[in-house]
């Protein structure tokens, strides 16, 4: 008579001495492999009398299931023991212990952005994040730059395989923000921008801007001038000489360039201001009626102004950095010299 109990006992005793996965696999083959002990018993069913085949088959299948269960249990035990050993031998780190090395700090552009956003929030502006990857429509058409418009040459950018583009200006979020909030509106949305630029002390192919929009009834250029002066006074905590000069931007009409006196040379002329004594800081203007219409705002009822603040250049002025390329260089030797306020 088939003695399944003794076979199970053998398997259990042998499993108790196994401590490695390779030994366990060898035992699995010994009993459950094609030529294993249990498999041979299953093959032997052909030699059993017809009247006893059913009982024999049930006994062997029960044995097979029990052996498999014991092996699976041992597999789980070995896996658990392996994890426990790794944890016991691991070098534990106490995250509450103060750093023994040099402490890092936020990047000057990050600090500048946080300060500017807080200033605008205190003035009642809502905050949105500008997209780094935009649709071609939002980046160009929605700000009154149709296909084949010469202004596209001024903002040569990087196209992606899906037809989208790397945002060339934070103005690309104007349409999205207008459709989200409607009018009246006061909103700012900072972000990273990308253009195919020739690099110099004041130009980079990757830079940061902050776009602002104010829309309401009876908004005029006088509101724009007053607001820009108040904003710059809050940013720099001092009076700066500023000037407005005509500037072309398809999404505003009229458009202006707001310059401030160079803080590096105090108007004498240097490489940052290109010997002019002035730094181009804030392009601005009255929002073009076509842009308002595409954003779902009635230009006969609401007017507004928009401005783009160069955060990279602003950080240079706040932290006395004379070369914009330092910002993205990753050069810790140079960045460590910047005293974060």
Residues 257 and 120 in one domain: yes
Give the residue with greater pLDDT, 197 vs 302.
302
Residues 149 and 214 in one domain: yes
Specify whether the CB–CB gap between 145 and 205 falls below 8 A: no
For the chain, report the end-to-end CA distance as a whole number of angstroms.
Answer: 90
Q: What is the arithmetic mean of pLDDT over 210-214?
A: 92
Q: How far apart, in Å, are the Cα atoms of 214 and each of 62, 159, 236, 239?
A: 80, 30, 21, 23
Alpha-helical regions (H) of 212-305? 221-236, 289-294
Q: What is the pLDDT of residues 54-96, one digit of tens each?
A: 888 888 888 888 888 998 998 999 899 888 888 777 766 777 7
Residue 59's pLDDT is 84
In a domain, 241, yes or no: yes
Count structural domains, the chain. Answer: 2
Other residues' Cβ atoms within 10 Å of the Cβ of residue 320: 11
Q: Indicate if the pLDDT at residue 41 is higher than 90.
A: no
Give the residue with greater pLDDT, 211 vs 270.
211
Other residues' Cβ atoms within 10 Å of the Cβ of residue 284: 25
Q: 122: helix, coil or strand?
A: helix
Residues 271 and 138 in one domain: yes
Q: Indicate if the pLDDT at residue 340 is higher than 70.
A: no
Q: Is the peptide bond before 184 cis (omega within 30 degrees of 0)?
A: yes
Domain end among 57, 89, 121: 89
Q: What share of the chain in percent tops pLDDT 70?
A: 91
In a domain, 101, yes or no: no
Residues 156 and 201 in one domain: yes
Q: Could you tell me the pLDDT band of residue 179, with boundaries at 50, 70 and 90?
A: very high
Residues 190 and 329 in one domain: yes
Q: Bridge partners of 187?
A: 126, 213
In a domain, 100, yes or no: no
Residues 75 and 119 in one domain: no
Residues 47 and 163 in one domain: no
Q: Indicate if the pLDDT at residue 153 is higher than 70.
A: no
Determine the Cα–Cα distance for residues 191 and 133; give it in Å rounded to an integer: 10
Q: Indicate if the pLDDT at residue 216 is higher than 90.
A: yes
- Contacts of residue 212, defined as CB under 8 A and 6 or more positions apart, other chains included, come to 120, 125, 186, 187, 188, 306, 307, 308, 309
Q: Indicate if the pLDDT at residue 1 is higher than 60.
A: no
In a domain, 341, yes or no: no
Residues 132 and 204 in one domain: yes
Q: Could you tell me the pLDDT band of residue 190, with boundaries at 50, 70 and 90?
A: very high
Instruction: Read off the CATH number of the domain in which 115 is found.
Output: 3.30.930.10
Residue found under tokens 């207008």? 178
Residues 311 and 268 in one domain: yes
In a domain, 94, yes or no: no
Query: Phi-psi bin for 124: left (phi > 0), alpha (psi -120 to 50), beta?
Result: left
In a domain, 238, yes or no: yes
Residue 133's pLDDT is 92
Q: What is the pLDDT of residues 134-148, one digit of tens each?
A: 998 998 889 888 887
Q: Indicate if the pLDDT at residue 53 is higher than 70.
A: yes
Residues 181 and 321 in one domain: yes
Domain of residue 63 covers 4-89
Specify whether the CB–CB gap between 116 and 311 falls below 8 A: yes
Give the residue with greater pLDDT, 12 vs 1.
12
Determine the Cα–Cα distance for residues 32 and 44; give it in Å rounded to an integer: 15
Residues 32 and 141 in one domain: no
Specify whether the CB–CB gap between 258 and 282 falls below 8 A: yes
Q: What is the pLDDT of residues 283-322, one digit of tens each?
A: 889 999 999 999 999 999 999 999 888 888 888 877 777 7
Residue 139's pLDDT is 87
Q: Indicate if the pLDDT at residue 126 is higher than 90.
A: yes
Q: 12: helix, coil or strand?
A: helix
In a domain, 153, yes or no: yes
Domain end among 89, 119, 138: 89
Residues 118 and 77 in one domain: no
Determine the Cα–Cα distance for residues 319 and 329; give it in Å rounded to an integer: 16
Residue 2's pLDDT is 58
Specify whether the CB–CB gap between 95 and 157 falls below 8 A: no
pTM listed for this prediction = 0.62
Domain end among 89, 116, 146: 89
Residue 62's pLDDT is 87
Q: What is the arithmetic mean of pLDDT over 90-106?
A: 72
Residue 320's pLDDT is 77
Q: What is the pLDDT of residues 218-230, one digit of tens each?
A: 898 888 888 877 7
Q: Could you tell me the pLDDT band of residue 261, with boundaries at 50, 70 and 90?
A: confident
Determine the Cα–Cα distance for residues 266 and 277; give it in Å rounded to an integer: 7
pLDDT mean across residues, the chain: 83
Nearest Cα neighbor of 189 from 210, 166, 214, 174 is 210
Q: 244: helix, coil or strand?
A: strand
Determine the Cα–Cα distance for residues 276 and 263; give it in Å rounded to an integer: 12
Specify whether the CB–CB gap between 44 and 63 falls below 8 A: no
In a domain, 256, yes or no: yes
Give the residue with greater pLDDT, 217 vs 329.
217
Q: What is the arithmetic mean of pLDDT over 151-157?
A: 68
């Amino acid at each position: 008579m088939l003695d399944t109990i003794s076979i199970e006992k053998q398997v259990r005793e042998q499993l108790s001495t196994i401590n490695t996965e390779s030994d366990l696999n060898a035992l699995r083959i010994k009993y459950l492999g094609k030529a294993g002990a249990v498999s041979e018993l299953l093959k032997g069913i052909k030699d059993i009398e017809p009247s006893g085949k059913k009982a024999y088959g049930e006994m062997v299948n029960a044995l097979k299931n029990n052996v498999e269960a014991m092996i699976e249990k041992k597999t789980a035990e070995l896996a658990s023991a392996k994890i426990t050993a790794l944890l016991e031998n691991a070098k534990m780190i106490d995250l509450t212990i103060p750093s023994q090395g040099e402490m890092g700090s936020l990047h000057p552009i990050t600090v500048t952005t946080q300060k500017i956003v807080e200033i605008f929030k205190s003035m009642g502006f809502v905050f949105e994040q500008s997209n780094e990857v935009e649709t071609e429509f939002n980046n160009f058409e929605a700000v009154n730059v149709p296909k084949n418009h010469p202004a596209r040459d001024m903002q040569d950018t990087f196209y992606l395989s899906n037809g989208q583009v790397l945002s060339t200006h934070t103005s690309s979020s104007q349409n999205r923000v207008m459709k989200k909030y409607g009018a009246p509106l006061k909103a700012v949305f900072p972000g990273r921008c990308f253009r195919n630029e020739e690099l110099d002390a004041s130009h980079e192919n990757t830079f940061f801007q902050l776009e602002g929009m104010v829309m309401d009834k009876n908004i005029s250029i006088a509101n724009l001038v007053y607001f820009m002066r108040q904003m710059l006074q809050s940013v720099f905590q001092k009076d700066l000489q500023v000037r407005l000069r005509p500037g072309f931007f398809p999404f505003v009409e009229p458009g202006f360039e707001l310059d401030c006196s160079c803080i590096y040379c105090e108007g004498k002329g240097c490489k940052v201001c290109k010997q002019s004594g002035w730094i181009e800081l804030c392009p601005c203007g009255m929002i073009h009626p076509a842009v308002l219409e595409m954003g779902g705002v009635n230009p006969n009822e609401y007017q507004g102004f928009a401005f783009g603040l160069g955060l990279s250049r602003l950080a240079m002025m706040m932290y006395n950095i004379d070369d914009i390329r330092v910002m993205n260089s990753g050069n810790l030797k140079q960045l460590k010299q910047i005293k974060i306020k």
